[in-house]
A and B are shown apart, each in its own frame.
Chain A
Amino acid sequence: MTTATDSEGGTLAVEIWRGKDAGQFETYTVPQRANQTVLDVVTWIQRHAEPALAYRFACRVGVCGSCAMTVNGKPRWTCRTHVSKVAGEGALRIEPLRNLPRLKDLAVDMTPFFEKWQRAQGRFTPTRTRNDPLTTVSPQSAGRKAADAGIECINCAVCYSACDVVGWDDGYLGPAALNRAWTLVNDERDGDRAGVLKAASSGGGCHSCHTHGSCVEHCPVGINPTAGIAGLKRWSIVELLGGKLP
Chain B
Amino acid sequence: MTPVVLYLAQRLTALILAPLVIAHLVLILIAVEGGLTAAEILNRTQGSVGWGLFYGLFVAAAAVHAPIGLRNVIHEHTRWTGRSLDGAMLVLAVLLAGLGARAVLAVVGTP
Contact = CB atoms under 8 A, between A and B. Distances in A.
Contacts of A240: 4-5, 8
B3 A208 contact: yes
A237 interface: yes
B76 A169 contact: yes
A168 B77 contact: yes
Interface string B46-84: 000000000000000000000000001001110000000
A233 B76 CA distance: 19
Residue among A202, A207, A240, A245 with most chain B CB within 10 A: A207
A150 interface: no
Interface in A203-229: 203, 205, 207-208
Interface string B1-36: 011111110000000000000000000000000000
A169 B75 contact: yes
A202 B7 CA distance: 11
A203 B3 contact: yes
Nearest to A168: B76
B76 A201 contact: no
Contacts of A208: 3, 72
A165 interface: yes
The binding surface of chain B is classed by DSSP as helix
Given A201-B2, A202-B2, A246-B2, A207 B7 contact: yes
Contact of B6 (A169, A202, A207): A207
A53 to B, nearest CB: 35
Contact of A236 (B4, B72, B75, B77): B4
Given A201-B2, A202-B2, A165 B7 contact: no
A214 B82 CA distance: 28
Contacts of A202: 2-3
B5 to A, nearest CB: 7
Contacts of A233: 7
A205 B3 contact: yes
A240 B6 CA distance: 11
B70 to A, nearest CB: 15
A205 B72 CA distance: 13
B11 to A, nearest CB: 8
Nearest to A246: B2
B67 to A, nearest CB: 16
Residue among B4, B72, B75, B76 with most chain A CB within 10 A: B4
B111 to A, nearest CB: 44
Nearest to B81: A171
B76 A165 contact: yes
A202 to B, nearest CB: 7
Given A169-B75, A201-B2, A237-B7, 19 more contacts: A165-B76, A168-B77, A169-B76, A201-B4, A202-B3, A203-B3, A205-B3, A207-B3, A207-B6, A207-B7, A208-B3, A208-B72, A236-B4, A236-B7, A237-B4, A237-B8, A240-B8, A245-B2, A245-B4
Q: Give 4 closest A-B pairs by Cβ, nearest first.
A: A168-B76, A207-B7, A207-B3, A236-B4
30 contacts: A165-B76, A168-B76, A168-B77, A169-B75, A169-B76, A201-B2, A201-B3, A201-B4, A202-B2, A202-B3, A203-B3, A205-B3, A207-B3, A207-B4, A207-B6, A207-B7, A208-B3, A208-B72, A233-B7, A236-B4, A236-B7, A237-B4, A237-B7, A237-B8, A240-B4, A240-B5, A240-B8, A245-B2, A245-B4, A246-B2
